[in-house]
Protein backbone atom coordinates (compact mmCIF):
# COMPACT_ATOMS: atom_id res chain seq x y z
CA UNK A 1 0.00 0.00 0.00
CA UNK A 2 2.78 2.43 0.81
CA UNK A 3 3.69 2.89 -2.80
CA UNK A 4 0.24 3.60 -4.06
CA UNK A 5 -0.75 7.10 -3.08
CA UNK A 6 -3.46 8.62 -5.19
CA UNK A 7 -2.22 10.99 -7.83
CA UNK A 8 -4.21 13.83 -6.30
CA UNK A 9 -2.85 13.09 -2.83
CA UNK A 10 0.78 13.08 -3.88
CA UNK A 11 0.39 16.20 -6.01
CA UNK A 12 -0.76 18.42 -3.17
CA UNK A 13 1.88 17.07 -0.80
CA UNK A 14 5.04 19.16 -0.44
CA UNK A 15 3.42 21.98 -2.41
CA UNK A 16 3.54 24.51 0.44
CA UNK A 17 7.13 25.54 1.24
CA UNK A 18 6.13 27.15 4.57
CA UNK A 19 5.19 23.73 5.87
CA UNK A 20 8.81 22.63 5.57
CA UNK A 21 9.76 25.07 8.35
CA UNK A 22 9.08 22.62 11.22
CA UNK A 23 11.20 20.02 9.38
CA UNK A 24 13.96 22.62 9.06
CA UNK A 25 13.68 23.37 12.77
CA UNK A 26 14.04 19.68 13.66
CA UNK A 27 17.01 19.28 11.28
CA UNK A 28 18.80 22.29 12.85
CA UNK A 29 18.22 20.80 16.32
CA UNK A 30 19.52 17.37 15.29
CA UNK A 31 22.57 18.83 13.52
CA UNK A 32 23.38 21.12 16.46
CA UNK A 33 23.16 18.34 19.05
CA UNK A 34 25.20 15.96 16.90
CA UNK A 35 27.94 18.56 16.40
CA UNK A 36 28.15 19.56 20.07
CA UNK A 37 28.21 15.94 21.22
CA UNK A 38 30.87 14.89 18.72
CA UNK A 39 33.12 17.96 18.86
CA UNK A 40 33.04 18.71 22.59
CA UNK A 41 32.48 15.25 24.05
CA UNK A 42 33.40 12.28 21.83
CA UNK A 43 36.49 13.66 20.08
CA UNK A 44 38.14 14.99 23.30
CA UNK A 45 37.38 11.63 24.97
CA UNK A 46 39.04 9.71 22.12
CA UNK A 47 42.11 12.01 22.21
CA UNK A 48 42.82 11.23 25.87
CA UNK A 49 44.61 7.85 26.16
CA UNK A 50 42.84 7.07 29.43
CA UNK A 51 39.34 7.54 27.96
CA UNK A 52 39.88 6.71 24.29
CA UNK A 53 38.19 3.32 24.54
CA UNK A 54 35.14 4.86 26.19
CA UNK A 55 35.13 7.59 23.52
CA UNK A 56 35.19 5.07 20.68
CA UNK A 57 32.32 3.02 22.16
CA UNK A 58 30.17 6.11 22.74
CA UNK A 59 30.93 7.45 19.25
CA UNK A 60 29.95 4.16 17.61
CA UNK A 61 26.77 3.63 19.62
CA UNK A 62 25.64 7.24 19.26
CA UNK A 63 26.26 7.36 15.52
CA UNK A 64 24.41 4.10 14.97
CA UNK A 65 21.36 5.46 16.84
CA UNK A 66 21.74 8.78 15.03
CA UNK A 67 21.78 7.03 11.65
CA UNK A 68 18.66 5.01 12.50
CA UNK A 69 16.93 8.17 13.71
CA UNK A 70 17.71 10.08 10.52
CA UNK A 71 16.65 7.11 8.37
CA UNK A 72 13.31 6.87 10.20
CA UNK A 73 12.82 10.62 9.94
CA UNK A 74 13.38 10.61 6.17
CA UNK A 75 11.08 7.58 5.78
CA UNK A 76 8.37 9.29 7.89
CA UNK A 77 8.45 12.34 5.65
CA UNK A 78 8.68 10.57 2.31
CA UNK A 79 6.44 7.53 2.85
CA UNK A 80 2.82 8.13 1.94
CA UNK A 81 0.68 6.86 4.83
CA UNK A 82 -1.70 5.17 2.36
CA UNK A 83 -4.95 6.32 0.88
CA UNK A 84 -8.16 4.71 -0.37
CA UNK A 85 -7.59 2.81 -3.61
CA UNK A 86 -9.99 3.00 -6.53
CA UNK A 87 -10.53 -0.74 -6.34
CA UNK A 88 -9.10 -3.42 -4.09
CA UNK A 89 -6.52 -6.00 -5.15
CA UNK A 90 -9.17 -8.36 -6.47
CA UNK A 91 -10.78 -5.57 -8.46
CA UNK A 92 -14.16 -6.51 -6.97
CA UNK A 93 -14.61 -3.72 -4.47
CA UNK A 94 -15.12 -0.31 -6.00
CA UNK A 95 -14.45 2.38 -3.36
CA UNK A 96 -15.79 5.32 -5.38
CA UNK A 97 -18.84 7.02 -3.93
CA UNK A 98 -21.56 8.52 -6.12
CA UNK A 99 -24.26 10.41 -4.17
CA UNK A 100 -27.76 8.93 -4.36
CA UNK A 101 -26.51 5.94 -6.29
CA UNK A 102 -26.17 2.63 -4.47
CA UNK A 103 -22.96 0.85 -5.41
CA UNK A 104 -21.47 -2.57 -4.76
CA UNK A 105 -19.57 -1.17 -1.79
CA UNK A 106 -22.66 0.33 -0.20
CA UNK A 107 -24.66 -2.83 -0.60
CA UNK A 108 -21.83 -4.63 1.15
CA UNK A 109 -21.89 -2.18 4.07
CA UNK A 110 -22.26 -5.01 6.56
CA UNK A 111 -18.55 -5.76 6.26
CA UNK A 112 -17.50 -2.44 7.75
CA UNK A 113 -17.14 -2.08 11.49
CA UNK A 114 -17.41 1.71 11.56
CA UNK A 115 -20.54 3.27 10.13
CA UNK A 116 -22.41 6.55 10.21
CA UNK A 117 -25.17 7.24 12.73
CA UNK A 118 -27.71 6.18 10.17
CA UNK A 119 -25.99 2.80 9.86
CA UNK A 120 -24.85 3.64 6.33
CA UNK A 121 -21.33 3.12 5.21
CA UNK A 122 -19.04 6.08 5.87
CA UNK A 123 -17.84 8.05 2.89
CA UNK A 124 -15.63 11.07 2.25
CA UNK A 125 -17.31 13.91 0.45
CA UNK A 126 -13.95 15.47 -0.52
CA UNK A 127 -12.46 12.35 -2.07
CA UNK A 128 -15.80 10.88 -3.24
CA UNK A 129 -14.80 7.50 -1.82
CA UNK A 130 -16.20 5.10 0.72
CA UNK A 131 -14.07 5.10 3.85
CA UNK A 132 -12.58 1.82 5.08
CA UNK A 133 -12.49 1.28 8.85
CA UNK A 134 -10.00 3.55 10.69
CA UNK A 135 -9.64 5.78 7.63
CA UNK A 136 -10.04 9.55 8.04
CA UNK A 137 -9.74 12.56 5.80
CA UNK A 138 -6.82 14.89 6.57
CA UNK A 139 -7.54 18.50 5.75
CA UNK A 140 -3.86 19.43 5.70
CA UNK A 141 -2.85 16.62 3.32
CA UNK A 142 -6.20 16.93 1.50
CA UNK A 143 -6.58 13.21 1.19
CA UNK A 144 -8.06 10.28 3.04
CA UNK A 145 -5.47 8.45 5.14
CA UNK A 146 -5.69 4.74 5.93
CA UNK A 147 -5.56 3.85 9.64
CA UNK A 148 -4.94 7.52 10.30
CA UNK A 149 -3.16 8.22 13.57
CA UNK A 150 -2.71 11.99 13.36
CA UNK A 151 -1.33 14.69 11.11
CA UNK A 152 2.17 15.55 12.24
CA UNK A 153 3.47 19.00 11.19
CA UNK A 154 7.01 18.00 12.23
CA UNK A 155 7.14 15.51 9.34
CA UNK A 156 4.80 17.44 7.01
CA UNK A 157 2.87 14.23 6.64
CA UNK A 158 0.14 12.19 8.20
CA UNK A 159 0.98 9.21 10.36
CA UNK A 160 -1.08 6.35 8.97
CA UNK A 161 -1.02 2.71 7.97
CA UNK A 162 2.16 2.72 5.86
CA UNK A 163 4.41 4.98 7.95
CA UNK A 164 3.20 4.30 11.50
CA UNK A 165 6.13 1.96 12.14
CA UNK A 166 8.65 4.56 10.92
CA UNK A 167 7.04 7.17 13.17
CA UNK A 168 7.14 4.89 16.19
CA UNK A 169 10.80 3.97 15.56
CA UNK A 170 11.62 7.64 15.03
CA UNK A 171 10.34 8.31 18.55
CA UNK A 172 12.31 5.32 19.92
CA UNK A 173 15.63 6.29 18.35
CA UNK A 174 15.14 9.98 19.18
CA UNK A 175 14.57 9.10 22.83
CA UNK A 176 17.68 6.88 22.89
CA UNK A 177 19.83 9.53 21.15
CA UNK A 178 18.69 12.28 23.50
CA UNK A 179 19.26 10.18 26.60
CA UNK A 180 22.74 9.16 25.40
CA UNK A 181 23.63 12.85 25.07
CA UNK A 182 22.07 13.86 28.38
CA UNK A 183 23.67 11.14 30.52
CA UNK A 184 27.09 10.67 28.88
CA UNK A 185 27.88 14.33 28.13
CA UNK A 186 27.05 15.41 31.66
CA UNK A 187 30.60 14.76 32.90
CA UNK A 188 32.14 16.75 30.06
CA UNK A 189 29.75 19.65 30.64
CA UNK A 190 30.52 19.67 34.35
CA UNK A 191 34.28 19.75 33.82
CA UNK A 192 33.92 22.48 31.18
CA UNK A 193 32.44 24.84 33.72
CA UNK A 194 35.74 26.43 34.83
CA UNK A 195 37.62 29.65 34.03
CA UNK A 196 40.05 27.85 31.67
CA UNK A 197 37.33 26.86 29.20
CA UNK A 198 36.58 29.21 26.36
CA UNK A 199 33.25 30.97 26.93
CA UNK A 200 31.83 29.97 23.52
CA UNK A 201 32.57 26.28 24.11
CA UNK A 202 31.12 26.40 27.62
CA UNK A 203 27.99 28.11 26.30
CA UNK A 204 27.51 25.57 23.48
CA UNK A 205 27.94 22.63 25.85
CA UNK A 206 25.53 24.00 28.44
CA UNK A 207 23.03 24.90 25.74
CA UNK A 208 23.39 21.47 24.09
CA UNK A 209 22.91 19.65 27.41
CA UNK A 210 19.84 21.74 28.24
CA UNK A 211 18.33 21.29 24.78
CA UNK A 212 18.93 17.53 24.84
CA UNK A 213 17.34 17.30 28.32
CA UNK A 214 14.27 19.17 27.14
CA UNK A 215 13.87 16.98 24.05
CA UNK A 216 14.54 13.82 26.04
CA UNK A 217 11.77 14.74 28.46
CA UNK A 218 9.20 15.66 25.79
CA UNK A 219 9.87 12.76 23.42
CA UNK A 220 9.97 10.24 26.28
CA UNK A 221 6.46 11.29 27.31
CA UNK A 222 5.28 11.17 23.71
CA UNK A 223 6.83 7.72 23.19
CA UNK A 224 5.16 6.44 26.37
CA UNK A 225 1.81 7.67 25.08
CA UNK A 226 2.31 6.05 21.67
CA UNK A 227 3.51 2.80 23.22
CA UNK A 228 0.37 2.71 25.35
CA UNK A 229 -1.76 3.41 22.26
CA UNK A 230 -0.01 0.62 20.37
CA UNK A 231 -0.56 -1.89 23.18
CA UNK A 232 -4.23 -0.86 23.32
CA UNK A 233 -4.58 -1.13 19.51
CA UNK A 234 -5.70 2.47 19.24
CA UNK A 235 -4.79 5.35 16.99
CA UNK A 236 -4.54 8.90 18.38
CA UNK A 237 -7.81 9.78 16.65
CA UNK A 238 -9.54 6.76 18.17
CA UNK A 239 -8.14 7.74 21.57
CA UNK A 240 -9.59 11.26 21.16
CA UNK A 241 -12.95 9.84 20.13
CA UNK A 242 -13.02 7.43 23.05
CA UNK A 243 -11.92 10.11 25.51
CA UNK A 244 -14.75 12.35 24.47
CA UNK A 245 -17.25 9.56 24.82
CA UNK A 246 -15.75 8.62 28.20
CA UNK A 247 -16.00 4.91 27.49
CA UNK A 248 -13.57 2.23 28.62
CA UNK A 249 -10.37 2.20 26.55
CA UNK A 250 -9.95 -1.53 26.45
CA UNK A 251 -13.20 -2.24 24.64
CA UNK A 252 -11.47 -1.75 21.32
CA UNK A 253 -12.71 -3.67 18.32
CA UNK A 254 -9.23 -3.94 16.81
CA UNK A 255 -7.55 -5.46 19.87
CA UNK A 256 -5.61 -8.61 18.89
CA UNK A 257 -3.90 -9.13 22.23
CA UNK A 258 -0.58 -7.66 23.35
CA UNK A 259 1.62 -9.55 20.86
CA UNK A 260 -0.83 -9.05 18.00
CA UNK A 261 -1.14 -5.33 18.71
CA UNK A 262 2.63 -4.83 18.63
CA UNK A 263 2.81 -6.85 15.41
CA UNK A 264 0.16 -4.69 13.80
CA UNK A 265 2.41 -1.63 14.24
CA UNK A 266 5.99 -2.96 14.18
CA UNK A 267 5.54 -5.82 11.73
CA UNK A 268 5.02 -9.56 11.85
CA UNK A 269 8.62 -10.60 12.54
CA UNK A 270 9.89 -9.63 16.04
CA UNK A 271 13.49 -9.81 14.72
CA UNK A 272 12.80 -6.75 12.60
CA UNK A 273 10.64 -4.80 15.04
CA UNK A 274 13.35 -2.19 15.52
CA UNK A 275 14.51 -2.05 11.91
CA UNK A 276 12.96 0.50 9.58
CA UNK A 277 11.79 -2.30 7.27
CA UNK A 278 9.38 -5.27 7.41
CA UNK A 279 6.15 -3.32 7.72
CA UNK A 280 3.03 -4.96 9.19
CA UNK A 281 1.08 -7.14 6.81
CA UNK A 282 -2.38 -6.24 5.58
CA UNK A 283 -3.79 -3.71 3.17
CA UNK A 284 -4.87 -0.99 5.61
CA UNK A 285 -8.47 -1.51 4.51
CA UNK A 286 -9.65 -4.36 6.72
CA UNK A 287 -8.93 -4.71 10.44
CA UNK A 288 -11.65 -6.98 11.75
CA UNK A 289 -12.32 -10.66 11.36
CA UNK A 290 -15.90 -9.97 10.32
CA UNK A 291 -17.64 -11.03 7.10
CA UNK A 292 -15.68 -10.29 3.94
CA UNK A 293 -16.52 -6.98 2.34
CA UNK A 294 -18.66 -8.26 -0.47
CA UNK A 295 -19.82 -11.40 1.27
CA UNK A 296 -22.72 -9.96 3.26
CA UNK A 297 -26.15 -10.47 1.79
CA UNK A 298 -28.49 -7.52 1.53
CA UNK A 299 -30.62 -9.11 4.27
CA UNK A 300 -27.61 -9.12 6.62
CA UNK A 301 -26.92 -5.53 5.71
CA UNK A 302 -30.47 -4.47 6.49
CA UNK A 303 -30.58 -6.29 9.83
CA UNK A 304 -27.13 -4.91 10.67
CA UNK A 305 -28.27 -1.39 9.93
CA UNK A 306 -31.42 -1.75 11.99
CA UNK A 307 -29.43 -3.07 14.94
CA UNK A 308 -26.86 -0.32 14.69
CA UNK A 309 -29.54 2.37 14.43
CA UNK A 310 -31.19 1.09 17.57
CA UNK A 311 -27.88 0.95 19.45
CA UNK A 312 -26.80 4.39 18.41
CA UNK A 313 -30.01 6.36 18.77
CA UNK A 314 -29.78 6.76 22.54
CA UNK A 315 -26.54 8.67 22.89
CA UNK A 316 -26.01 10.38 19.58
CA UNK A 317 -27.11 13.84 20.65
CA UNK A 318 -24.69 13.91 23.57
CA UNK A 319 -21.81 12.61 21.46
CA UNK A 320 -22.31 15.20 18.80
CA UNK A 321 -22.29 18.02 21.35
CA UNK A 322 -19.16 16.68 22.99
CA UNK A 323 -17.40 16.17 19.68
CA UNK A 324 -18.09 19.69 18.52
CA UNK A 325 -16.73 21.12 21.75
CA UNK A 326 -13.64 18.94 21.86
CA UNK A 327 -10.13 19.67 20.64
CA UNK A 328 -7.13 17.36 20.34
CA UNK A 329 -5.69 15.40 23.20
CA UNK A 330 -2.13 16.16 24.10
CA UNK A 331 -0.63 16.52 20.66
CA UNK A 332 -3.22 19.00 19.46
CA UNK A 333 -3.15 17.19 16.17
CA UNK A 334 -6.47 15.40 16.20
CA UNK A 335 -8.22 18.57 15.22
CA UNK A 336 -6.45 18.57 11.88
CA UNK A 337 -8.30 15.56 10.70
CA UNK A 338 -11.89 15.22 9.91
CA UNK A 339 -12.12 12.49 12.47
CA UNK A 340 -15.08 10.20 12.40
CA UNK A 341 -15.78 7.02 14.17
CA UNK A 342 -17.83 4.02 15.02
CA UNK A 343 -20.70 6.15 16.19
CA UNK A 344 -20.82 8.06 12.95
CA UNK A 345 -19.11 11.28 14.00
CA UNK A 346 -18.65 12.03 10.36
CA UNK A 347 -18.54 15.44 8.81
CA UNK A 348 -20.15 13.99 5.71
CA UNK A 349 -23.30 13.13 7.61
ZN1 LIG B 1 -11.09 12.12 1.94
ZN1 LIG C 1 -2.24 14.97 7.04
Q: What DSSP character marks residue 347?
A: T
Q: Ligand 1 mean position to 338 CA, how many Å? A: 9
Give the span between the Cα atoms of 110 and 98, in whole angstroms: 19
- Note the pLDDT of residue 13: 75
pLDDT: is 5 or 23 the higher one? 23
User: Which string of b and e fits 138-171 if b means at least 16 CB within 10 Å?
Assistant: bebbebbbbbbbbbbbebbbbbbbbbbbbbbbbb
Q: Ligand 2 mean position to 78 CA, how many Å? A: 13
Average pLDDT, the chain: 79
- Note the pLDDT of residue 165: 96
Find which of 121-130, 167-176, 302-311 is predicted with most confidence, using mean pLDDT. 167-176
Closest by CA position to 156, among listed 328, 20, 25, 29: 20
Give the span between the Cα atoms of 297 and 107, in whole angstroms: 8
pLDDT digits (tens, 9 = 90+) for 223-258: 999 999 999 999 999 898 888 775 554 457 888 899
Residues in a beta bridge with 121: 115
State the ligand closest to the CA atom of 6.
1
State the ligand closest to the CA atom of 135.
1
Q: Is the pLDDT of residue 188 over 60?
A: yes
Max distance between CA atoms of the chain, in angstroms, equals 84
- Note the pLDDT of residue 216: 97
Q: Ligand 1 mean position to 299 CA, how many Å? A: 29
User: What residues have a C-beta under 5 A from ligand 2, the ion?
Assistant: 138, 140-141, 151, 158
pLDDT digits (tens, 9 = 90+) for 297-330: 333 434 444 444 444 444 444 444 433 333 333 3
Share of the chain above pLDDT 70, in %: 70
Residue 86: pLDDT band (50, 70, 90) is confident
- Note the pLDDT of residue 245: 72
Which of 100-104, 133-137, 278-282, 328-332 is the least confident region?
328-332
pLDDT digits (tens, 9 = 90+) for 264-308: 999 999 999 999 999 998 888 888 765 344 333 333 434 444 444
Q: Ligand 2 mean position to 336 CA, how many Å? A: 7
Contact 122, 346 (CB under 8 A): yes
Q: What amino acid positions are annotated as catalytic residues?
A: 152
Q: Is the pLDDT of residue 64 over 50?
A: yes
Q: Domain map of the chain by residue range?
A: 7-344
Closest by CA position to 166, among listed 152, 180, 181, 182: 152
Is the whole-model pTM more than 0.95? no
As a whole number, mean pLDDT of residues 49-56 equals 94
Q: Give the CA distances from residue 34 to residues 213, 225, 259, in Å, rounded to whole numbers and listed in that order.
A: 14, 26, 35
Q: Ligand 2 mean position to 124 CA, how many Å? A: 15
Amino acid sequence: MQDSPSAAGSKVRFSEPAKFLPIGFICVNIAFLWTVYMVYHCIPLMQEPATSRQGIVQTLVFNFVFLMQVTCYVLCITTHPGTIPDTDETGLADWSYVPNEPTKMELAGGGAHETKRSGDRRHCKWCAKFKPDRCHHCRVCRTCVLKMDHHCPWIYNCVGFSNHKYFFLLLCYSVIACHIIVWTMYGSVKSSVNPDTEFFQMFLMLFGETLATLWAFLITLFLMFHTWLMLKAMTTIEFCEKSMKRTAYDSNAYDRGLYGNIRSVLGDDPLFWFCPCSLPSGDGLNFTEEAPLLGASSKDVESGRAARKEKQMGDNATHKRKWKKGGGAGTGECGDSEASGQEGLDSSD
